[in-house]
Amino acid sequence: MTPVASQPHVYADLDVLRRTWSSRPGLLGWLSEINHKAIGRRYILTAFIFLLLGGIEALLMRLQLAKPENTFLAAARYNQIFTLHGTTMMFLFAVPVMEGMGIYLVPLMVGTRNVAFPRLNAFGYWMYLAGGLFIYGCAFFGMIPDAGWFAYPPLSGPQFSPGKGVDVWAQMITFTEVSALCVAVELIVTILKMRAPGMSLNRMPTFCWSMLVQSFMIIFAMPAVMIASTVFLLNDRTLGTHFVNPAEGGDPLLYQHVFWFFGHPEVYIIFLPALGIVSSILETHTRRQIFGYPALVLSLVGNGFIAFGLWVHHMFATGLPQIGEAYFTAASMMIAITSGVQIFCWLATLWTGRLRPTAAVHFVFGFIFIFVMGGMTGVMLASIPLDLQTHDTFFVVAHFHYVLIGGALFPLFGGFHYWFPKFTGRLIDETLGKLSFWILFVGFNLTFFPMHWLGIVGMTRRVYTYVPGLGWEHANLLATIGAFVILSGGLVFIVNVLRSRRSGPRAGSDPWDASTLEWETTSPPPPYNFPNLPVVPTRTPLWTPSAERAIVTGLREDRREILITSVLDAQPHHRSVQPRPSIWPMLTALGFSVGLAGSIFAFYWYYVASVLGMVGLIGWFWPERPLEVKP
Amino acid sequence: MTGRRTLDVSGLPPYDISNQSPLFWGQVLMCLIEGSLLCMLIATYFYLRLGVDVWPAPGVHLPSLTGPTVALIPLLASCVGSYLASEAAKKDSRGGMLLGLGLNLGLAMIFLVLRAIEWNSLNFTWASDAHGSIFWTILFLHSYDILADVLMTAVLLVIVASGHCGPRQRIGVHVDSVLWYFLVGIWIPLYGVIYWAPRLIGGSR
Amino acid sequence: MRYVAIGCCLLTLIGCKRERRDVRPSPAVSGILGDAAGESTLRPGGGAATQNVRNPYEGNAYAISEGQRLFNWYNCSGCHANGGGGIGPPLIKKDQRDWIYGGDPSNIFDTIVKGRPNGMPMWGGKIPEYQIWQIVTYVRSLNNLEPKAATPSRPDSLEQKTNTILYGKDGGSQP
Amino acid sequence: MNQSMWHASGSNAAHIRELAIFFGILLGVIFLIVVGLALFSLRRRHRGIEQEPLERSHQASERTEARLRMVVGIATAVTLLILFGLTIVSVSVGKSVSASVAPANSLLIEVTGTQWWWKIRYASDDPSRILRTANEIHIPVGRPITIRGSADDVIHSFWVPSLQGKRDLIPGRTTLEWLQADRPGEYRGQCAEFCGLQHAHMAFWVIAEPPAQFNQWMEHQLQPAVEPADDETKQGQNIFLNSACVLCHAIRGTDAGAHAGPDLTHFGSRKTIAAGTLPNNKGNLAGWIADPQNVKPGTHMATVPIQPAEMQPLIDYLESLK
């Protein structure tokens, strides 16, 4: 794809460009890495390690529940494990992995050289890593949270959760939320201000749209959880405040309101990027422009808004006023419309496209099957009478695993098979890919479909065991078997990835004949992404004849210069110089981490955090000579 | 592939100190985050207030009005300083930036001193009851933000004074002023809530 | 490097000590009192015999919260309020010299088991021994004689409204 | 032994069950249609949609697009209508089962959740007719019951699937719901909100009886505990009164009057011990008293040092409290 340099003064001098944008060598260079592709890769890999940990925890739980009155795990241990499982999957896997995809792909898709704030990006990753290490490190010291992943007070309060476990949990939230907010700011500014010339908002790939909406949701949702976990819970536990203490004018329900005001959007924060992934895969593999682009984008935005209006459906059983409940039922049902529109658009695309049945497409079909079923049970849960019966039972467990695994994990795996050539430069083995899909699909339904029934026949969630004779034995055993099928499917996937990375056939820059910009550059992309930034004439640039496509010249190659464009129609506005790699983001994150970790023991550690963080920031922003590589 | 049509951007300015620069957008988003945080706290304040008949509980002295009200004056005035600084940054006048930053810093200091005095006059802590908790949380968070921004301004002042005032520093000054406007602006509703709400909707004492 | 390793081990020990939840009475807590209720080898006034007895729950967060629950269940709060004192003397001492019969775990244990003149009943043989130790741990935690990291900032239960100002003052340093 | 919304035995549960079936069938059909369409799209040719050579234009002909727009539009409209209908149905059922319409003549029972058992209190204007018991609720068939719920320590959730949906019990608040059994039976309930170590073993029984039988039970329960008949049980009573038991438990008619633990006045008449953990018989009772932490790890029931010789009289006495 790189233009032949017939007129050297027009086209980029690749050696200089490479020298300008490449990272420092060695360990120091690794620690001060700020390239969005490297950071994105780190996010994805770290998240996958946590996925494995969460999966192991899930298997342990299934083993315990395989038969009634099982003694494989003690009550205390089981509570710790399901708390860790939920926390890991929500905060340490699902959100970060989607952010990783965004960080890696968005700059490529909008045709720029890096994210808007590379150092903030690095900082965000280090905070996320620190948070993960923090909670799992404390586990070795016996400080394991055991109040569930939403830690309702008073159970999680100072009196009923002695020890430090819940404090660790609450502070770990702070780590991951800081990182999530950093990424959100990154992506919003990258998407709004750094799109390639000509890529007006209505020419933006749906994946970028989904990341944009998701980032805005993060910005409005995450502060809420920080308030719930840090201000309410942690301060109540360590400083003796009374936000959720009924004896002193507080209210346990306050915590639930604030937490779910975050907690429900959280689901869509995980799920919107997946929708973007599905659209990308379908557009490429049906070889037609996705049907109903405006409808898709509008329903994405609609999802974003509605998601903030229905948190109360997590609290129907607390007995709130009738009228409010009616409203929240209606709102919860409304979300089905925006989701429905997207499904319809994809179906239309499928009907009129020429489908290439790759592994990625298999995962998309799995997504449609599982997610639609999850949506149906979701509609049931939106109805208050049904919710009062199924709330806090395994029916709900089944529902949100259908929505989250079906709605997020399957598209994610599809996305892996789809972008694998871009990530690694090699094609992934289709046969193994399809095999892993079928095993995962069967295993998933084997595990979670019986749980619907378990909920209906009265099995409550979060029980470490159950008495025999209630007719729960068979379904539980089935689910446990299914869990191991899922495990084997995961193993096949891992093997496939490792094998293909080493020995897969070379993929060109565009193995799929895809439509979006990330396929224009070589795979894996060079540190500067594009020799010349592209100019975007249509919504599917790579499907427009290259004669009609122009490229950008005149950006200096001897320093990290990028092009800033206008928000709506991406007119070039000015050039801007990006900072060099720096160790300071890592050091700043380290300082904050030490302070925050200490803060669960004594308040003054917050001051330590502030001072260390301030020092770090000063080093971070201290003026430096802009990099000038002599040609 | 040779002779592709090209779009030459070498004519565009190499930097831009205005609301078009990415850093400005980043700062605005940071303010948005902080804003939604504080709005959530205001909501919490009223939620807790609805839970009781008398707010704050009998025996708790209402937070005094005069101190905070007086403190508003230097706070609002300090915005002039940041305004001067950002204008100077756009015009690239080093003297102007020093003046503006200095003015802002001085007034902000006065404000912080007044707040410190106020803290010691309160007869309840965050551990007294729910009112104390939310009151102190709002007060502490805002003071913390102010303090952080004051430190940042001081650092900028040092940097500019030490002779670096390239584009990046000047954008920094501009963006810093944006953050300051936000912190001052958000304090007005917070002030209204934590000092006037107990008097207006505090219930019969 | 070696020191780091050693440090980690120490931390682990401390952490585990604080976090351990032995729900069943540990063998360490039986046998000071004879099984037959009442007659104890302890002498009034925390005699020498108890000096070698150490609190098995020292610094254990779970024991502290259990002790707090029992403090209300067994109605210690009836006389001692929530440590502020009422009919009985306050258990939150302004000054550690105010302990009438000594503030060591063995002394407090002794006081609960044998009772004291002027109203403190004899609980030995009524309250099981391990629970007495849990109450001892809680009472000491009220005076910050237990590690801060193991002590909750305040109780959450409805039936008692504690003097939270006092907790707050020594709980969190003034922001 | 059933604990399932499927075996609905009360009017409310029955309504909810019908609603569930309605939702289930309707949504199931929609699910099949959607998935069917997805799979059907794998066929190369579709009637009314001509397959253009997409490789060049990468989009369908304007005619096809228009057709699709219409279909998708209609589908969305239909979705909207269905959801609207579902909302109406669900809200109307919701009104009929909600606490706000608890019938006037209903019997008021106060349920207090505490780690990890249930305090039951039959309210009455006449103080002498207020009844405290635990973990077992007897109700008259055909009469509406109002449950007024609260909690002592953490949040619990009161749930008898066969009779009514769940309602959280929240410290510092009281929540209401009403239920009614239409046929006699024993219905199992369980705490539905995670409440700590023994959340799994926090069950209870609702026993619906014909009104006559219920009144008889009520009268009996209002009596103080039976006096020990033989000296075996007499000895057991002494053991009870002189050990740690009395610190937590009450037996009306004796000096035992503490309410930290369940009221044992008519302990012998209950189905289960330890909140539905074990069937109530002498063997289980002995095991429970000797080592509660073995039966229910973390339970607040104290491990009381009881001499082996004392155990038999003690359990004889307790089981004699019919």
Rg (CA), chain D: 28
> Three-class SS string for A509-525?
CCCCCCCCHHHCCCCCC
Q: Is A549 on the interface with B (CB under 8 A)?
A: yes
Residue D93 within any structural domain of the chain? yes
Contact A45, A98 (CB under 8 A): no
Q: By percentage, how much of chain A surpasses pLDDT 90?
A: 76
Q: Which residue of A has its CA nearest to D95?
A: A322
Residue D192 is classified by DSSP as -
- Shared domain for D100 and D248, answered yes or no, is no
Of D170, D192, D218, the one marking the end of a domain is D218
Residues D19 and D150 grouped into a single domain: yes
- Which band of pLDDT confidence, cut at 50, 70 and 90, is reported for residue A630? very low
Q: Once rounded to an integer, what is the mean pLDDT over residues D67-73?
A: 92
Is the omega angle on the peptide bond into residue D279 within 30 degrees of 0, that is, cis? Answer: no
Query: Domain range spanning residue D25?
Result: 1-43+64-218
**For D109-116, what is the mean pLDDT?**
94
Task: Mark whether D23 and D138 lie in a shared domain.
Answer: yes
Report pLDDT digits (tens) over A447-467: 999 999 999 999 999 999 999
CA distance A283 to B50: 52
Instruction: Determine the pLDDT at residue C162.
Output: 39
Contact call for residues C58 and C146 (beta carbons, < 8 A): yes
Mean pLDDT taken over chain C: 71
Task: From chain A, pick out residues whose CB is under 8 angstroms from the CB of B172.
Answer: 621
pLDDT band at C47 (very low <50, low <70, confident <90, very high): very low
Q: Within this chain, do residues D160 and D282 fall inside the same structural domain, yes or no?
A: no
- Residue from C165, C167, C173 whose CB has the most chain B CBs within 10 Å, to mutate: C165
Question: In what side-by-side order are the strands of the sheet with D203-209?
Answer: D136-140, D203-209, D185-190
- More reliable by pLDDT, A407 or B164: A407
Q: Are residues D5 and D116 in the same domain?
A: yes
Q: Percent of chain C beyond pLDDT 70?
A: 61
Least confident of A423-432, B105-114, D52-61, D170-179: D52-61
Tokens describing residue D37: 């369409």
pLDDT tens digits, residue range A296-336?
Answer: 999 999 999 999 988 998 999 988 877 778 888 888 898 99
Residues D18 and D134 in one domain: yes
Alpha carbons A507 and A522: distance in angstroms, whole number = 9
C-alpha span between B71 and A222 (Å, rounded): 32
- With the C-alpha atoms ordered A339, A343, A349, A352, is the resulting torsion angle positive or negative? negative
Task: Please state, for a pLDDT cut of 70, what percent of chain D lies above it.
Answer: 96
Q: DSSP for A584-630? A: HHHHHHHHHHHHHHHTTT-THHHHHHHHHHHHHHHHHHS--PPP---
What phi-psi label fits residue D81: left (phi over 0), alpha (psi between -120 and 50 degrees) or beta? alpha
Q: Residue A278 contacts by C-beta under 8 Å, 6 or more apart in sequence?
A: A346, A364, A367, A411, A414
Express each pLDDT in A117-128 by its tens digit.
999 999 999 999
Span C52-175: which CATH code?
Answer: 1.10.760.10
Q: What value does the mean pLDDT take over residues D119-138?
A: 92
D153 inside 8 A of chain C by CB: yes
* Same domain as D241, residue D276: yes
Note the pLDDT of residue A2. Answer: 33
Write the DSSP symbol of residue C150: G
Local confidence band at C90 (pLDDT 50, 70, 90 cut-offs): confident
Q: Write out pLDDT tens, residues A388-410.
A: 999 999 999 999 999 999 999 99
Chain A residues in contact with C15 (beta carbon < 8 A): 138, 140-143, 164
CB contacts under 8 A, A 604-623 vs C, are: 604
Angle between helices B130-161 and B94-121 (to 10 degrees): 160
Put simply, whether C7 touches A (Cβ < 8 Å) is no
Residue C158 has pLDDT above 80, yes or no: no
Domain coordinates of chain C in residue numbers? 52-175
ipTM of model over 0.85: yes
C-beta of residue A242 within 8 angstroms of C-beta of residue B127: yes
C175/B136 CB distance under 8 A: yes
| Domain closes at, from D218, D245, D267 | D218
**Chain C partners within 8 Å of A602 (Cβ):** 148, 173
Average pLDDT of D248-273?
91
Q: pLDDT band at residue C58, thresholds of 50, 70 and 90?
A: confident
Mean pLDDT, rounded, for D204-232: 92
* Residue A48 pLDDT > 60: yes
Q: Nearest CA to CA, how far is C163 from chain B (Å)?
A: 8
pTM (two decimals): 0.92
Contact D297, A75 (CB under 8 A): yes
Angstrom distance (rounded) from CA D35 to CA D40: 8
Q: d(Cα C104, Cα C120) in Å, to the nearest integer?
A: 18
Using left for φ > 0, alpha for ψ between -120 and 50, and beta otherwise, residue D119 falls in beta
Last residue of a domain, one of D165, D184, D218: D218
In a domain, D48, yes or no: no
What per-residue confidence (pLDDT) applies to D19? 95
For the ranges B43-47, C72-76, D131-135, the lowest mean pLDDT is seen at C72-76
- Could you tell me the pLDDT band of residue C38, with boundaries at 50, 70 and 90? very low
Same domain, D236 and D214: no
What's the mean pLDDT in A142-153?
Answer: 91
Q: Are residues D144 and D242 in the same domain?
A: no
C11 vs B194, which has greater pLDDT? B194
CA distance B6 to chain A (A): 5
pLDDT attached to residue A220: 95
Q: Which residue has the tokens 């029972």?
A: D109
The residue of chain C with its CA nearest to that of B130 is C164
Q: Which two tokens stand for residue A279?
A: 């659209």
Residue A545 has pLDDT above 90, yes or no: no
Which chains sit next to B, with 3 or more Cβ pairs under 8 A? A, C
Cα–Cα dist A270/A99, whole Å = 9
pLDDT of residue D31: 96
pLDDT at residue C154, as a whole number: 59
Report whether pLDDT(C153) > 90: no
Cα(B88)–Cα(B169) distance, integer angstroms? 12
Return the CATH number at D169: 2.60.40.420
Considering only A411-415, A437-441, C56-60, D276-280, which range has the smallest mean pLDDT?
Answer: C56-60
D80-to-A293, A324, A337, A340, A500 alpha-carbon distances in Å: 20, 21, 7, 10, 46
Confidence of residue A38 (pLDDT cuts 50, 70, 90): very high
Interface contact flag, A351 D46, Cβ < 8 Å: yes
Tell me if D84 sits within 8 A of A387, measured CB to CB: no
- Quote the mean pLDDT of chain A: 91
Any domain includes D70: yes
Q: How far is C88 from chain D (nearest CA, A)?
A: 19
- Same domain assignment for residues D240 and D169: no
Per the model's pLDDT, the better-predicted residue between A333 and B1 turns out to be: A333
Residue A354: phi and psi, rounded to 5, are: -105, 95
Between strands D136-140 and D203-209, the pairing is parallel
D213 and D235 part of one domain:
no
Contact assignment for A254 to B137 by CB distance below 8 Å: no
Q: Which residues pair with D119 in a beta bridge?
A: D112, D134
Contacts across the A-B interface (CB distance below 8 Å)? 187
pLDDT at A7: 47
Pairing of strands D117-122, D156-160: unpaired
Does D210 score more than 90 pLDDT?
yes
What is the CB-side half-sphere exposure of residue D124 using CA atoms within 13 A? 12
What confidence tier does C159 reach under pLDDT thresholds 50, 70, 90? very low
**In this structure, are D152 and D7 located in the same domain?**
yes
Structural domain includes residue D226: no
The average confidence (pLDDT) of chain D is 90
Contacts of A112 in chain B (CB under 8 A): none
Average pLDDT over residues A131-145: 92
D50 within domain boundaries: no
Looking at residues A52-76, what average pLDDT do you find?
A: 94
- Dump pLDDT digits (tens) for A274-293: 999 999 999 999 888 999 99
**Structure-model confidence comparison of residues C164 and D309, the more confident one:** D309
Number of domains in chain D: 2
Distance (Å) from the alpha carbon of C135 to chain A's nearest alpha carbon? 14
β-strands D164-169, D156-160: how paired? antiparallel
**Comparison of pLDDT for D99 and A42, the residue scoring more:** A42
Q: What is the pLDDT of residue C124?
A: 85
Q: Which segment of A62-71, B176-185, C47-56 scores lowest on mean pLDDT?
A: C47-56
What is the C-alpha to C-alpha distance for residues C134 and C55, in angstroms, rounded to an integer? Answer: 9
Instruction: Quote the CA–CA distance of D272 and D147 in Å, as a whole number.
Output: 22
The distance of C168 to chain B (nearest Cα, Å) reads 5
Q: C interface mutation test: which of D241, D248, D303 has the most C CBs within 10 A? A: D303
Q: Do A555 and B10 touch (CB under 8 A)?
A: yes
